[in-house]
Amino acid sequence: MASVKSKSFSPLRFKDSFENFVFVLPALIIFSLFYIYPFYEIFRLSLHEWNGISLSQRFVGLENFKELVQDKVWWSSLGHAGYITVIALTFQNALAFALALACDRDIRLQKFYRVVFYLPPVLSEVVVGLIWQWILYAGLQNGQHIGLLNYFLDKVGLGSLIHHWLSDPQTALTCIAVVHSWKGFGWGFIILLAGLQTIDRQLYEAAKVDGAGSFHILKNVTIPMMIPVILVVVILTILGSMQVFVLVLSMVGQGLVYHTEVPVTRILASMMGTHRFGYACAQAIVFGAILVGISFLQIRWSKKLKQA
């Protein structure tokens, strides 16, 4: 007789396992169809030349990747995304951290600030992009500036700063980066504030008793305690900013040919513009690998930091 512990096949047990598996089945079907299959397909297509319509896909090996290495527009688009990311990492995160520090105390209106700061992040990029495009609009009507920013600069006597913000390649990318930061800082603020509020108040008291000034407390108590949270914010900021593109589309559209291209708009252009699906997949793979590499480096770097 089979003992209770034996792993021998029993119809009852099989039926039980199968029933439990059925719970996962709908999720698994959708996941396989819309995630795993595209994952495989993106690698397969990257080795082919295909226009997306014709029945024949020509196998070209690594040709797409070789071409990509020499694609100047592609690498400059990565540079643009890197520029936006650097501004988001410094300007946006510094602002978020400063505001979180300011709110991490018994301060009046704290709830109000929290609600207001998280308002831009809940709006869509299309809406944000179009509002700011209207504010930054450059042009004159009857000698008056149409866009609010230029109008304001004119009225307060800073007329020399008036600029074609979004049609000048020199400033367009910076404007996009600033608007991206405007949309994103509230998110960093909420997470950093939540992190700050988990720090034990007694640590601050102890530091104060020992005679530490507020700058020393910040440097030697707050920041070391916040490293894990800061790291999450930094990684997610990088991943989010590198993949920005809806803002680019809604703020400048196709207006500035190559000056505001970012990787995702390049992938879209290869796919819908020149109908080179294989090349688009190769771009997507290289870009994905770069993103995975960055987050991997970050995690390793943080482990070293923790050990030190």
Partner 1 sequence: MKINFYKIKGIVQSSFIHLLLMTVAFSCLFPLFWMVRSALMSQETIFVDKSLIPSQLNLHNFYLAWTQGNFGVYCLNSLIYTTSVVAGIVVISSLAAYSFSRLQFPGKNLFFFMFLAAMMIPLPGSFVPLFVLMNKLGLVNTRIGYILCMINVGLSLSIFLLKTFFDKMPSDLEDAARIDGCSKLGIWRHVALPLARPAIAVIVIFNSLNVWNEYILATLLLNDQSLMPLQRGLMVFQGVHSVDYPLLMAGLTITALPIILVYLFMQKHIIKGLSSGALVG
Q: Name the minimum Å distance from CB 84 to partner 1.
A: 14
Q: Name the minimum Å distance from CB 86 to partner 1.
A: 19
Please report, for residues 126, 132, 155, the alpha-carbon distance to residue 250 in angstroms, rounded to integers and kept in the order given.
6, 9, 28
Task: Give the x/- contact pattern for partner 1 in 173-192, rule: CB under 8 A.
Answer: ---------x---xx--xx-
Task: Give the x/- contact pattern for partner 1 in 14-53, rule: CB under 8 A.
Answer: --xxxxxx-xx-xxx-xx-xxxxxxx-xx--x------x-
Half-sphere exposure of 215 (CA within 13 A, CB side): 0
Q: Name the minimum Å distance from CB 26 to partner 1.
A: 5
Q: Are β-strands 48-49 and 58-59 bridged in parallel, bridged antiparallel, or unpaired?
A: antiparallel
| Residue 271 engages partner 1 in binding (rule: CB under 8 A) | yes
Region binding partner 1 by CB under 8 A among candidate stretches 62-70, 84-92, 163-171, 283-291: 283-291
Q: Which is nearer to partner 1, 173 or 195 (CB)?
A: 195
Task: Give the x/- contact pattern for partner 1 in 52-81, rule: CB under 8 A.
Answer: x-----------------------------
Hey, which residues between 239 and 258 contact partner 1 (CB under 8 A)?
239, 243, 245-246, 249-250
> What's the CA gap between 134 and 139, in Å, rounded?
11
Q: Name the minimum Å distance from CB 198 to partner 1.
A: 7
Q: Any residues with CB less than 8 A from the CB of 307 and at least 6 apart, and which?
A: none
